[in-house]
Amino acid sequence: MILKQVTHYPETNSVEAAWTDSDGNPVRCHAYADVQMDMLRADLGDDAVTYADLIATVEANIQPAPPVPSIPALQQIASLESATLLPRVTREFMLTFFAAQAAASGADPMTSLAFAKLKALDDQIAALRRSI
The domain limits of the chain are 2-60, 73-131
The vertex-32 CA angle with 30 and 34, nearest 5°, equals: 170
State phi, psi for 87 to the nearest 5 degrees.
Answer: -65, 170
The model's pLDDT over 1-38, given as tens digits with 9 standing for 90+, comes to: 899 999 999 999 999 999 999 999 999 999 999 999 99
Share of the chain above pLDDT 70, in %: 99
Average pLDDT, the chain: 89
The confidence score (pLDDT) of residue 69 equals 67
Does this model's pTM top 0.75? My answer is no
